[in-house]
A and B are shown apart, each in its own frame.
Chain A
Amino acid sequence: MDFKQQTELDLVEQSPAAVDFDLEKLACDVIDKSDIGIFILGRDKSIVCWNSWMAQMSGIKGDHATGKTLEQLFTGFSNLRLQQAIDDALLRGMSAVLSQKFNPHSLPLYKSPEDRKKKQLMSQMIMVKPIHNGGNYSLVQVIDVSPASARDKMLRHQANEYKHQELHTRAILSSIADAVITLDVDGRVDYMNIVAEKLTGWSFQQALGLPWDKVLSVIDKKEALMSEPVGHCLQKSQAPELGELELELQPKSGANLAIELSMAPICDQNHETLGVVAIFRDVTNARQLARQINWQASHDTLTALLNRRAFDDKLAEMVNNVRHQNNSHALLYLDLDRFKIVNDTCGHAAGDELLKQISRLLAANIRANDLLARLGGDEFGIQLLDCPAEAAANIANMIRIAIQQFRFSWGEKIFNIGVSIGVVEVTPSCESAEDILCKADAACYAAKKSGRDQVHFYRSENCAAVYHQGEMEWFPRIQRALAEDRFTLYAQKIVPLADMNKSIHFEILVRMLDEDGKLILPGEFIPAAERFGLMTKIDKWVISHVFKLIAKENTRLSGQGYSFAINLSGCTLSDEQSLAFINEQLAYFNIPPGMISFEITETAAISNLSSVNHFIRNLQQSGCKLSLDDFGSGLSSFAYLKNLPVDYLKIDGLFVKNMALDVIDRAMVKSINEIGHVMELKTIAEFVENDAIIACLKEIGVDYGQGYGIAKPQPLTDVNGSLLLT
């Protein structure tokens, strides 16, 4: 075969340096050593050339292949497309390409013996060209395209993976509870999940390609939203700060929704920004709940007024402000009087209703800028802004009068309520909110102490002392006195008015001894003892000491008709263990029946009617008598009397002490006495201070009298510890 023809190799041959160059041999070498498969077919389609590559890949040596057709060489070979291409080249001078994609099984060529065993055909691309060299030949070139084929497969595999990943991602995005919208580099919507569709009211199809702010139309209630959070995201590749904002989404239709929104840039591995992802959720309910919780944290749910905490915060603010300003403010501390009676006699529902009504009453009596709060139980606080002392006193007084005139009705009952008000000026010299509140509390306490239904202005000299002694100091003092047994007993005679020389009835009175032996009257320490829950201990102290004395002088007392009245406080009455204690002491000291009577106050009795009833009956069964003390002070108590199976009625001394002069008081005593007698009770008048009273009482027919006009209280025992029964 003459390869020199039609090639530019002629030029090489003509170069002087290569005179002896055997071009034909070179051409044969090139074909043979080529890294592609080359074979040439003659007009009869028999092989005239078969290079080494072909020999290696087909497993058929050149000398074996030469002269044979492809059909002869490969048994069962039939490839119409290749045969057609060879024909076209031989007969019509046409070239052809057979791609691997369309002709996956062209020639039985294998890259390695392993592939041959596995029948793993080589991926081939075949090119067929006509050659004219005296006659027509067909040049066939076979190229191994396995690498490209592998790349194609890998690409396909990756594309599939990518598609799966995308499906996966979409599936996740469509199933999460948050709304997700992704935006492209131009800030246009390129994806949104179902939740985002639902919240915005836009369907993905409608929203696709729209500018983000059309679909995610957000307004900020605090007007702090940056104008272009998406632009910020895209340009700076930073998530904008949106956490603190109170955002609202305006959906395509319908009401705005409170949302929580976050945005973040989507970046590739080179930190190029590809877009933005916006995630948001409907927090309408949560925000409402948060608002509610906030409200509840700062308000009293019953009265809807500010609560103690909020009041303290505002007060601290006020104290802080007053240092920089020249105006003065005032603080009122209010404590309702006789609230407990309502609560205890009519139940908590009545108490609650009363507090609500009082709240409204208070709110109506202060100025718009003033701050009203419920500080606890029946205590209220009012901050009067820009209010000089005088004006504060006026307001306090107006409030006091308003409450005094207020009547609370519950069912058929009507109650009078009062209020004790402490007033403090808030001036730049005030130390702290706690200090002011403390002073107001002290002033209020002083108001209560000086007879309730009063306004008390805080003065450092008086209130501090009262407050100190009233509150802080008493608790440890009483405790120490109890521990050190520093109480002593007094007795005051109660005489039958018909036979005033008969001295067999005594009311036992308790006194506390100071550390230096000074006597402290009950009026001073008992309110504190009640406040701090020490009263039951004192009552028990009295009971056991009196019983012990009686037991000691049993022989002297027995059969003489002596009786001793012991006061029981409200706390003791409501303490279940007290009853057991008393019974146990009665048994232990073997106290004769009828020798002990217990005095309970009207207020204490009424406040816990059913348990007091049980208490009374039980003690009566144990042989004790019961008197109702201070009867009449509550005024509403006649109704309860029926339900209290007491033996004696002690008429409140307030009526008695003026009855000789005041006809109303006298009438009061008379009617109480009559009622008592109708109910078959013995009546006792307290505060019998002079003979005129005694005469009145006798005239009315009161059974017993007690008071300075008859006998002053005196120590129960003499220096030797023996009973002084005179």
Chain B
Amino acid sequence: MLELTEFQQDAVAELLNIGMGTAAASLSEMVKQKVDLSIPCVEIMLRRHAVEHIRDTVGNEVTAVKETFKGTFWGDAFLLFPESQSLELVRALLQEDALPLDMLSEMEQEALTEVGNIILNACLGSLANIFEQSFHCDLPRYAQGSCDIIFNRNLAATRSADAVLLVRMNFSLKANNINGLLTLMMDVESMQALTDLINTTFGMID
């Protein structure tokens, strides 16, 4: 349990890539430049491993957009960027002169929240669509700080949010290539529900 076969992983990645495609289209339209989003791989792991993994990938200081979702499976979805790259991303998207600040202004935080919202909604929406489940996503929240603070606080499934669906993503713009991470943090039951859904949907084919 809590494991996906290689095929299932590919299937989920493909599924999410559809969502990413939609998100990229919306973002491109919104920022009037070509935005490409892609998901090279998907894996499930325990939270403590995931936090380490995230730290290795994006560093300890991160910028995150969080959405809490409820439905047949439930949990918190995070879009994560290294702190420095979040500045680069927002400023590239907004195509404004950079502010001489090493953190995002409140308006820029809102803008990044919207970008995260579009991506997270597209991904969660494509999952919900495929599984034909009723789904409820809360408003996105902006968070910034160390991995520990972000992953150990304000989680919807605080009691046992032990499993993480870890999705790497690339965010590429005309002049910038930014690596981010998309993670779905769920407790064991919720993850079980999701893997069951994946099994039912893609397992038949397997």
Measured CB to CB, the residues of A under 8 A from B are 80-81, 84, 88, 92-103, 125, 127, 129-130, 132, 145, 148-149, 151-152, 155-156, 159-160, 162-163
Instruction: Contacts A93-B137, A95-B139, A148-B106 given; indicate if A162 touches B113 (C-beta within 8 A).
Output: no
A81 lies within 8 A of B139 (CB): no
Chain A residue numbers with a CB within 8 Å of B113 are 97, 99
Q: Does B149 contact A (CB under 8 A)?
A: no
Chain A residue numbers with a CB within 8 Å of B30 are 81, 102
Q: Does B52 contact A (CB under 8 A)?
A: no
CA–CA, A44 to B30, complex, Å? 26
A96 lies within 8 A of B105 (CB): no
B134 lies within 8 A of A93 (CB): yes
Chain A residue numbers with a CB within 8 Å of B67 are 95
B107 lies within 8 A of A129 (CB): no
B121 lies within 8 A of A96 (CB): yes
Instruction: Contacts A93-B137, A94-B121 given; indicate if A101 touches B97 (C-beta within 8 A).
Output: no
A159 lies within 8 A of B129 (CB): no
**Contact residues of B between 77 and 133, Cβ < 8 Å to A:** 93-94, 96-97, 99-101, 105-108, 110-111, 113-115, 117-118, 121, 124-125, 128-129
Q: Does B135 contact A (CB under 8 A)?
A: yes
B107 lies within 8 A of A94 (CB): no
A92 lies within 8 A of B117 (CB): no
CA–CA, A159 to B91, complex, Å? 15
Q: Which 5 A-B pairs have the closest CB atoms?
A: A101-B111, A99-B110, A99-B114, A93-B136, A152-B107
A88 lies within 8 A of B111 (CB): no
Q: Does B148 contact A (CB under 8 A)?
A: no
Instruction: Contacts A81-B30, A92-B129, A93-B135 given; indicate if A148 touches B114 (C-beta within 8 A).
Output: no
A95 lies within 8 A of B138 (CB): yes
Question: Which among A94, A95, A100, A159 is the interface contact of B97 at CB below 8 angstroms?
Answer: A159
CA–CA, A97 to B106, complex, Å? 14
A97 lies within 8 A of B110 (CB): yes
Q: Does B140 contact A (CB under 8 A)?
A: yes
B137 lies within 8 A of A125 (CB): no
Instruction: Contacts A88-B121, A95-B67, A96-B121 given; indicate if A101 touches B110 (C-beta within 8 A).
Output: yes
CA–CA, A378 to B182, complex, Å? 101
Chain B residue numbers with a CB within 8 Å of A84 are 26
B117 lies within 8 A of A97 (CB): yes
B121 lies within 8 A of A100 (CB): no
A52 to B: closest C-beta gap in Å: 23
Choose among A93, A125, A129, A159 the residue with the greatest number of B CB atoms under 10 Å from its CB: A93
- Nearest to A127 among chain B residues (CB) is B139
Question: Which among A93, A96, A149, A159 is the interface contact of B117 at CB below 8 angstroms?
Answer: A96
CA–CA, A148 to B106, complex, Å? 7
B173 to A: closest C-beta gap in Å: 15
Q: Does B41 contact A (CB under 8 A)?
A: no
A151 lies within 8 A of B99 (CB): no
A152 lies within 8 A of B106 (CB): yes
Chain A residue numbers with a CB within 8 Å of B125 are 88, 92, 94
A92 lies within 8 A of B128 (CB): yes
Chain B residue numbers with a CB within 8 Å of A125 are 110
CA–CA, A145 to B108, complex, Å? 12
B114 lies within 8 A of A97 (CB): yes
Question: Which among B114, B135, B139 is the interface contact of A129 at CB below 8 angstroms?
Answer: B139
- Nearest to A98 among chain B residues (CB) is B114
- Nearest to A153 among chain B residues (CB) is B107
A99 lies within 8 A of B107 (CB): yes
CA–CA, A155 to B100, complex, Å? 9
- Nearest to A158 among chain B residues (CB) is B100
CA–CA, A94 to B106, complex, Å? 24
B81 to A: closest C-beta gap in Å: 16
CA–CA, A96 to B114, complex, Å? 7
A155 lies within 8 A of B139 (CB): no
CA–CA, A93 to B134, complex, Å? 7
A102 lies within 8 A of B137 (CB): no
Instruction: Contacts A81-B30, A95-B139 given; indicate if A159 touches B108 (C-beta within 8 A).
Output: no
B107 to A: closest C-beta gap in Å: 4
- Nearest to B90 among chain A residues (CB) is A101
B136 lies within 8 A of A159 (CB): no
A97 lies within 8 A of B140 (CB): yes
B94 to A: closest C-beta gap in Å: 6
Question: Which among B29, B96, B110 is the interface contact of A100 at CB below 8 angstroms?
Answer: B110
A99 lies within 8 A of B111 (CB): yes
Chain A residue numbers with a CB within 8 Å of B138 are 95, 129
CA–CA, A127 to B137, complex, Å? 12
B30 to A: closest C-beta gap in Å: 5
CA–CA, A130 to B71, complex, Å? 13
- Nearest to B139 among chain A residues (CB) is A95
Q: A94-B121, A102-B114 are in contact. List 16 more A-B contacts (CB 8 A).
A: A84-B26, A88-B121, A88-B125, A92-B128, A93-B71, A93-B134, A99-B114, A100-B110, A101-B94, A101-B111, A127-B139, A145-B107, A152-B108, A155-B101, A155-B105, A159-B97
Chain B residue numbers with a CB within 8 Å of A88 are 121, 125
Chain B residue numbers with a CB within 8 Å of A102 are 30-31, 93-94, 111, 114-115
CA–CA, A125 to B111, complex, Å? 10
Chain A residue numbers with a CB within 8 Å of B110 are 97, 99-101, 125, 145, 148
A101 lies within 8 A of B124 (CB): no
- Nearest to B118 among chain A residues (CB) is A96
Chain B residue numbers with a CB within 8 Å of A95 are 67, 117, 121, 137-140
CA–CA, A325 to B93, complex, Å? 89
CA–CA, A148 to B108, complex, Å? 10
CA–CA, A100 to B139, complex, Å? 16
A101 lies within 8 A of B134 (CB): no
B137 lies within 8 A of A94 (CB): yes
A151 lies within 8 A of B106 (CB): yes
CA–CA, A88 to B118, complex, Å? 11
- Nearest to A96 among chain B residues (CB) is B117
Chain B residue numbers with a CB within 8 Å of A148 are 106-107, 110
A485 to B: closest C-beta gap in Å: 98
Chain B residue numbers with a CB within 8 Å of A152 are 105-108
CA–CA, A102 to B96, complex, Å? 12
Chain B residue numbers with a CB within 8 Å of A160 are 97
CA–CA, A132 to B71, complex, Å? 13
Chain A residue numbers with a CB within 8 Å of B106 are 148, 151-152
B114 to A: closest C-beta gap in Å: 4
Instruction: Contacts A92-B129, A148-B107 given; indicate if A155 touches B99 (C-beta within 8 A).
Output: yes
Chain A residue numbers with a CB within 8 Å of B115 are 102
Choose among A88, A98, A102, A160 the residue with the greatest number of B CB atoms under 10 Å from its CB: A102
